[in-house]
Amino acid sequence: MKAFRQFVVKLASAALACAAAWSPSLSAHAADPTFAKTQHPIVLVHGLFGFSSVSGIDYFFRIPAELRANGATVLVASVSAVNSPEVRGEQLLKQMKQWAAAKGYKKFNLIGHSLGAPTARYVAGVAPSMVASVTSVGGTNDLSVGGSQSALLDTLLGFKNLANVMGKVIGAASGNAGLPQDENALKAFALDTPGFNRRFPAGQPTSACGQGPEQDKGIFFYSATGNKPKTNFLDLSDVILQANAQFATDGLVPVCAAHWGKVVRDDFPWNHLDEVNQVLGLRGSGPDPVAFYVSQANRLKGKGL
């Protein structure tokens, strides 16, 4: 098993490096060194089966660099690829405390994609004094929404230990082999998001598929999501996401399930991977996802965050 994992890590790293060489360039951004300069650092939190970086390829593909070019201080979290928001949240909180001790940061603007959204919300719930804002992008915020138990997620978690093995391979490839992977904890969350939301309700929508308060208990909450599972015929991941789409969804997370706090926009022509500019920038002709993160940082800056 160890030899197999090492082989998979090497193969995945080589594939990513090759793909990066031919991936399409992003739309040009006129960098402004103050446009995204928020008062507090921005922390990017990856989702399920995510990573901070593998072989120099960011999960949030080319997003940290563009934010920094526009003045933002950006930190990228390293949390378990497969685990509950509570466990991942404690890992995130530990990193935030380390960053605060090293740099004197008082608060952070958390931006979480997919499972990274409830992970960030957990930290906002247990350590509110350290959180200025939480932005959910394609967030798995309310999986009690009708049809939200995604067929793809059910398949991935339906094979015993498969998710754990995938998590360990991703952890090793990203230099985080020591982080625990626990598909059972993730399943428990997926089956009981209402229970999680009762414990961490700040920002919760006040009506079905509606919006929540923009500010709750001193923390600002925002959300955004795509609604188009298939966006680029060259991207093989689109085929999987399209097959999984049975309702208004980004191919993995239903539009209504992603709502939390003030909804910035819930009809971006993106799928779940486009939301972080993956795979390697392949997407349709819609708005540039990278530009969204820069504009969201500008929104936070305008709020004094």
Phi, psi of 226 (to 5 degrees): -95, 170
**What is the C-alpha to C-alpha distance for residues 196 and 193, in angstroms, rounded to an integer?**
5
237 neighbors 279 (Cβ within 8 angstroms): yes
Which parts of the chain fold into alpha helices (H)? 2-22, 63-69, 85-103, 116-126, 151-158, 162-173, 183-191, 193-199, 236-244, 255-258, 289-302
**Distances in whole angstroms, Cα of residue 23 to Cα of each of 9, 16, 249, 268:** 21, 10, 26, 22
Residues recognised as catalytic: 114, 250, 272
114 neighbors 87 (Cβ within 8 angstroms): no
